[in-house]
């Protein structure tokens, strides 16, 4: 399945890119949001597109990236978009074990230089595993799953996504979630967030927002997990209290029924947009 950009219209409306402006896409992916921004900023605009997988750059390092390669004029950006998490391409064709529906090497990192999940699983204690699955996956059977993975690792380490999915399926009750989601959904999400330090990266970016975006510049962040959305919400609120930000989205914008029907990935998406003051 090709990647359909989530909440595209709402994101572009919020960012309101103008001709000749300088924008940053911190999560380029298949370039859906970038393409729409390019059309608005035009041939004289500038777009810096990075992706941890494709360009090897982490958006958490944006202040350093801008310092090393200052865009023409050496200015901060007029706008920044982040569309967090994993892309449809990464799930479907990356061959790196992001999906429990495929039997691939259990790597699950956006950047191949990071430590793969199959290695991480050999190092974590049962309690650490439990905490990760519980916190990042909000998985009610975290204890059973952690025990099953830990015991399996002591015998024959898990090497593929298919093997991990089986270990998880065997550890939970047969009617898990009444069949609504695959039993491995939450654990896979948790391990991906942990392996890629997704919350730390987002927090570093939020801390440095004013080094990246100039006063008057806009930021749009699409998150897919309640912990991510909470981070964005709290940072925005604190900046606003300090008189450093105007928030455009009192409540996060979510996808319409029609969009969810066309693109199930948009179901859990939450968009927050703000302006740096
Ligand atoms: C949901 S996709 C973005 C899709 C894109 N907006 C589009 O319309 O095609 C998220 C992308 O962010 C990348 N990514 C995840 N964490 C990152 C990070 N810390 N720094 C840079 N890119 C990251 C992933 O590799 C993935 O390609």
Nearest to 60 by CA among 111, 108, 104: 111
Where a domain ends, among 171, 195, 219? 195
- Of all protein residues, whose CA lies closest to atom 26 belonging to ligand 1? 29
pLDDT score for 170: 97
The CATH number of residue 176's host domain is 1.10.150.170
Average the pLDDT over 104-109 and give the result.
Answer: 98
CB of 83 within 6 A of ligand 1: the answer is yes
User: 94 in a domain, yes or no?
Assistant: no
User: How confident is the model over 175-189, as pLDDT tens digits?
Assistant: 998 888 899 999 999
Q: Please check whether residue 142 lies inside any domain of the structure.
A: yes
CA distance linking residue 67 with residue 97, whole number of Å: 34
pLDDT score for 180: 87
Give me the pLDDT at residue 24, please: 97
Give distance in angstroms: CA of 160 to centre of ligand 1: 23
171 and 57 in contact (C-beta within 8 Å)?
no
Which of 195, 226, 248 is a domain's end point?
195
Average pLDDT (48-64) is: 95
> In whole angstroms, how far apart are CA 251 and each of 227, 233, 238, 269?
16, 9, 15, 13
Residues 82 and 122 in one domain: no
Domain that holds residue 67: 8-88+201-276
Beta bridge partners of 23: 47, 79
Give 31 Cα–ligand 1 centroid separation in angstroms: 9
> Is ligand 1 within 6 A of the CB of residue 60?
yes
Tell me how far the alpha carbon of residue 16 lies from the centroid of ligand 1, in angstroms. 21
CB 62 within 8 A of CB 26: yes
Ligand 1 in reach of 228 Cβ (< 6 A): no
**pLDDT recorded at residue 179:** 83
* 97 found inside a domain: no
pLDDT at 3 (0 to 100)? 78
What the block records as the tokens of 125 is: 């204690």
Band (pLDDT 50/70/90 cuts) for residue 221 is: very high
30 pocket-lining for ligand 1 (C-beta < 6 Å):
yes
pLDDT at 1 over 70: no
Beta bridge partners of 49: 25
User: Per-residue pLDDT tens for 140-166?
Assistant: 999 999 999 999 999 999 999 999 999
3-state secondary structure 164-233: HHHHHHHHCCCCHHHHCCCCCHHHHHHHHHHHCCHHHHHHHHHHCHHHHEEEEEEEEEEECCHHHHHHHH
Percent of the chain predicted with pLDDT > 90: 90
Do residues 80 and 208 both lie within one domain?
yes
Distance 85 CA to ligand 1 centre (A): 6
Atom of ligand 1 lying closest to residue 59 CA? 20
pLDDT at position 71: 74
96 lines ligand 1 (CB under 6 A): no
Q: Could you tell me if the CB of 94 is within 6 A of ligand 1? A: no
**pLDDT, mean over the chain:** 95
Number of domains in the chain: 2
> Alpha helices of 47-195 — where are they, by DSSP H?
62-68, 88-93, 117-123, 126-137, 142-155, 161-171, 185-195
pLDDT of residue 275: 98
Shared-domain flag, residues 187 and 227: no
Give yes or no for residue 72 having a pLDDT over 70. no
| Cα 171 to averaged position of ligand 1 atoms, centre (Å) | 31
Q: Is 11 in the pocket of ligand 1 (CB under 6 A)?
A: no
Residue 271 lies in a domain: yes
For a pLDDT cut of 70, what percent of the chain falls above it?
Answer: 99
CA of 93 to the centre of ligand 1 (A): 15
Where among 195, 212, 235 does a domain terminate? 195
What pLDDT digit, counting tens, does each position of 224-269 carry?
A: 999 999 999 999 999 999 999 999 999 999 999 999 999 988 999 9
Q: Tell whether the model's pLDDT for residue 222 goes beyond 80.
A: yes
pLDDT at res. 69: 80
How far, in Å, is the centroid of ligand 1 from the Cα of 176? 30
């Amino acid at each position: 399945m090709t990647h359909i950009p989530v909440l595209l219209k709402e994101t572009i409306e919020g960012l309101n890119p103008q001709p000749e402006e300088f924008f940053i896409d911190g999560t380029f992916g298949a370039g859906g949001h970038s393409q729409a921004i390019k059309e608005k900023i035009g041939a004289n605009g500038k777009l810096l597109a990075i992706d941890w997988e494709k360009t090897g750059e982490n958006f958490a390092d944006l202040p350093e990236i801008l310092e090393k390669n200052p865009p023409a004029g050496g200015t901060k950006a007029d706008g920044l978009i982040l569309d967090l998490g994993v892309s449809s391409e990464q799930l479907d064709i990356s061959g790196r074990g992001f999906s429990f529906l495929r039997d691939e090497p259990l790597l699950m990192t956006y950047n191949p230089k990071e430590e793969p999940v199959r290695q991480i699983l050999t190092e974590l204690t049962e309690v650490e595993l439990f905490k990760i699955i519980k916190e990042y996956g909000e998985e009610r059977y975290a204890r059973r799953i952690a025990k099953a993975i830990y015991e399996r690792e002591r015998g024959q380490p898990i090497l593929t996504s298919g093997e991990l999915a089986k270990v998880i399926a065997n550890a939970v009750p047969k009617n898990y979630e009444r069949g609504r989601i695959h039993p491995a959904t939450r654990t896979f999400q948790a391990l991906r967030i942990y392996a890629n330090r997704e919350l730390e990266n987002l927090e570093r970016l939020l801390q440095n927002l004013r080094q990246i975006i100039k006063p008057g510049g806009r930021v749009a962040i699409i998150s897919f997990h309640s912990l991510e959305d909470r981070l964005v919400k709290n940072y925005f609120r604190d900046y606003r209290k300090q008189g450093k930000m105007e928030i455009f989205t009192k409540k996060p914008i979510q996808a319409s029924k029609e969009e969810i029907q066309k693109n199930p990935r948009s179901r859990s998406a939450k968009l927050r947009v703000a302006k740096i003051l």
